[in-house]
Structure 1
């Protein structure tokens, strides 16, 4: 007779298989979550404006979704322009971002384009498409 309080032990291979499957599941879910994160961060050093390279500056407030939607559009074109244009973000929740917004009348989701000498050469109020953003860059900087 077997004692009811004793449970038969699982074979060692079965325990390892379950652990391995659990680890693979966790790795798969983690990979999926990682792939959904926005690509690459954007510098917030607004002193780069007017240092010789054109700059695209996104006014972004993390309390609203407009800036994040525009950031997704920026991610799509960033590689095409990164060698010629500085992509920057003015975080409106920080002092320098707030000062930037006051100086330029920017709000969440607004994209401002600056020439290499720091002149404001274009403003886009929450661009809705990659084509709209690309057209503004090409026109402002004669690409």
Structure 2
């Protein structure tokens, strides 16, 4: 038997490249997932409503998409209003979040704007864009002066 037939020839990538393929694929997948996460965490501490600073509260339900879309709008305007305004999320999957949503008759994706004293100033069922959110927040800030 000749040595030529004893070892089958391998065509394609060298062994070191094949070994690196799996970690590179996992790293690329992790980077893609990371890039889709919200840009910053939002507090869920609803006790901050009425603590002397106006609050924008998003009602969020993980089972639906509207809240995630509105959270993207919040990401766009957040830096312009920090630290004058609390940006909060009321997760309707928690007792506090569900209670707030039920009290004001809203669902996923609704935005509630509160004065510094905790009075509801404006309610947006599902803002269509960052500009609509910005205008409502500006009205709230003007009303609370």
Structure 2 residue aligned with 1:122: 122
Query: What's the CA shift for 1:103?
Result: 1.9
Structure 2 residue aligned with 1:74: 74
Listed one character per residue, the Cα deviations across residues 93-114 of structure 1 (whole Å, up to 9, x for unaligned) are 2111111122222222110111
Listed one character per residue, the Cα deviations across residues 1-29 of structure 1 (whole Å, up to 9, x for unaligned) are 2479953587xx93223223443333223
Note the 1:80-91 alignment, pairs <5 A. 80-91=80-91
What is the SS of the residue equivalent to 1:135?
A: helix
CA distance in structure 1 between the partners assigned to 2:103 and 2:29 by the alignment: 44
TM-score using structure 1 length: 0.85
User: What 5-or-longer segments of structure 2 have no aligned partner?
Assistant: none
Distance 1:48 1:5, change over 3 A: farther
Q: Which runs of 4+ in 1 moved over 3 A?
A: 2-10
Distance 1:59 1:9, change over 3 A: same
What is the SS of the residue equivalent to 2:14?
A: helix
1:25 equivalent to 2:12? Answer no
Number of equivalences:
141
CA distance in structure 1 between the partners assigned to 2:75 and 2:29 by the alignment: 23
